[in-house]
């Protein structure tokens, strides 16, 4: 691995001081911001995430705030998910598509009020698309990036840790719901969500100045829970089938190809910009789709570019994320596979950098 050069353009977060003090070893860049990828080792971090509780600097999940009388209309223009039933206090995972039905982002939308939303974005400058649409349609909305930085608390002991800092009522937050809580006199939105399957919360920290006090309070309160600084874990997120925008899907893919058809209500999502383009695929289904693929052999190297998947002479797909799973004792991966070869049990060949390997389409993801 090479080094990463610091510059202002790669933005620090309100929690960067804590991350550095905890001995971060590697980063990626996400929405022009540092996102830690490893503290002790990917495997040690993985074990700990499944046993204890971690604090994650996911400030890079920047918010696009939409506010004003046309906020709801604009939100529905962005996604094929029908938002009519969504209430303030709810979070929705929303595929965002362009006029061709291509994925622009796969954020979590947070409905603060009828006329106010945050879109908690994956790695693309969605702000530009939303601003362009709002301007082109002359909508009465404000669209901006507020000073809000999510902090993740993930792992089986997350409820215990959070209750110590925010009180027992955090335990009552239901999945993909949020509530308002106080920390040092400041209001914070806390949602039960996060980029792991180990359970936990995301705290939407408004105002960078309160970032380190909160980080320190959580670290202090969780000392006997073995709380540690952590980060989205490559192995765990592949086991769980959590897609990563830019890795497992791009603008070339429809939501249906990404297995996100259940988040699309293309018939009733009136106003969605990509609706015309998606109506047919919503009925007929996609020609290729994301599948879990178990890859044989020794632990795979890092998947830094798509690996071709073949059957006989034919290319039938590609692997876009892969890692060796200690718990499942196989290489777990996320692949986009053509429908002719996507049935569970299908034997395929994955062309890893170190040579071809046998692989098998799985019934479902591992977690």
Which positions make up the binding site for substrate?
202
Query: Whose CA is closest to 322, among 304, 341, 349?
Result: 304
The stretches of 211-264 forming alpha helices (DSSP H) are 211-221, 234-239
Query: Hey, which residues between 212 and 231 contact a copy of itself (CB under 8 A)?
Result: none
Query: Hey, which residues between 291 and 310 contact a copy of itself (CB under 8 A)?
Result: 302-306
Query: Hey, which residues between 315 and 354 contact a copy of itself (CB under 8 A)?
Result: 320-321
Question: Per-residue x/- mask for a copy of itself, residues 133 to 162, rule CB under 8 A?
Answer: x-xxx-------------------------
Q: How far from 67 is each of 23, 117, 131, CA to CA, in Å?
A: 39, 6, 12
For the bound state, the minimum distance from the C-beta of residue 32 to a copy of itself, rounded and expressed in Å, comes to 6
219 class by beta-carbon count within 10 Å (0-12 exposed, 13-18 middle, 19+ buried)? middle
For the bound state, the minimum distance from the C-beta of residue 4 to a copy of itself, rounded and expressed in Å, comes to 4
4 binds a copy of itself, rule: CB under 8 A? yes
Q: What is the C-alpha separation between 102 and 104, in angstroms, rounded?
A: 6
Q: How big is the CA angle at 176 (ends 243 and 122), to the nearest 5 degrees?
A: 35
How many residues sit in the footprint of a copy of itself (CB under 8 A)?
49
Q: What is the C-alpha separation between 206 and 214, in angstroms, rounded?
A: 11
Choose the stretch contacting a copy of itself; rule: CB under 8 A; options: 26-34, 79-87, 173-181, 218-226.
Answer: 26-34
Among 5, 223, 312, 355, binds a copy of itself (CB under 8 A): 5
Among 47, 73, 131, 351, binds a copy of itself (CB under 8 A): 131
Query: Whose CA is closest to 159, among 59, 237, 52, 6?
Result: 52
- DSSP H or E run through 122: none
Question: Per-residue x/- mask for a copy of itself, residues 95 to 114, rule CB under 8 A?
Answer: ---xx----x----------
For the bound state, the minimum distance from the C-beta of residue 129 to a copy of itself, rounded and expressed in Å, comes to 4
Contact 239, 325 (CB under 8 A): yes
6 binds a copy of itself, rule: CB under 8 A? yes
Which residues of the shown chain bind a copy of itself in the complex (CB under 8 A)?
A: 1-10, 12, 24-29, 32, 37-38, 98-99, 104, 123-133, 135-137, 244-247, 273, 302-306, 320-321
């Amino acid at each position: 691995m090479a080094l990463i050069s610091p510059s202002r353009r790669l933005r620090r977060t309100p929690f960067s001081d804590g991350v550095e003090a905890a001995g971060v070893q590697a980063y990626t860049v996400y929405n022009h911001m540092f996102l830690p990828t490893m503290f002790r080792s990917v495997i040690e971090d993985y074990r700990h995430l499944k046993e204890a509780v971690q604090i994650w600097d996911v400030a890079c999940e920047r918010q696009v705030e939409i506010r004003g009388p046309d906020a709801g209309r604009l939100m529905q223009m962005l996604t094929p998910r029908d938002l009519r039933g969504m209430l303030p206090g709810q979070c929705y995972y929303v595929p965002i598509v362009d006029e061709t039905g291509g994925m622009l982002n796969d954020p979590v939308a947070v409905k603060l009020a009828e006329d106010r939303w945050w879109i908690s974005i994956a790695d693309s400058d969605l702000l530009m698309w939303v601003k362009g649409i709002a301007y082109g349609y002359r909508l009465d909305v404000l669209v901006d990036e507020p000073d809000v930085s999510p902090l993740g608390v993930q792992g089986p002991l997350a409820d215990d840790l959070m209750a110590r800092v925010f009180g027992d009522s955090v335990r009552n937050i239901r999945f993909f719901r949020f509530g308002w809580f106080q920390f040092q006199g400041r209001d914070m939105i806390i949602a039960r969500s996060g980029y792991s399957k180990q359970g936990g919360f995301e705290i939407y920290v408004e105002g960078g100045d309160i970032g380190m006090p909160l980080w320190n309070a959580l670290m202090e309160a969780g000392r006997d829970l073995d709380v540690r600084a952590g980060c989205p874990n490559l192995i765990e997120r592949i086991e769980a089938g959590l897609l990563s925008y830019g890795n497992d899907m791009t603008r070339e893919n429809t939501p249906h190809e990404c297995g996100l058809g259940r988040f699309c209500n293309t018939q009733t999502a009136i106003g969605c910009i990509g609706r015309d383009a998606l109506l047919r695929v919503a009925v007929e289904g996609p020609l290729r789709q994301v599948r879990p693929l178990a890859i044989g052999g020794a632990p795979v190297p890092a998947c830094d570019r798509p690996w071709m998947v073949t059957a006989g002479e034919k290319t039938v797909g590609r692997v876009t994320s892969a890692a060796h799973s200690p718990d499942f004792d196989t290489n777990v991966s996320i692949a986009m596979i053509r429908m002719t070869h996507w049935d569970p049990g299908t034997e395929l060949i994955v062309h890893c950098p170190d040579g071809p390997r046998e692989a098998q389409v799985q019934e479902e993801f591992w977690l």
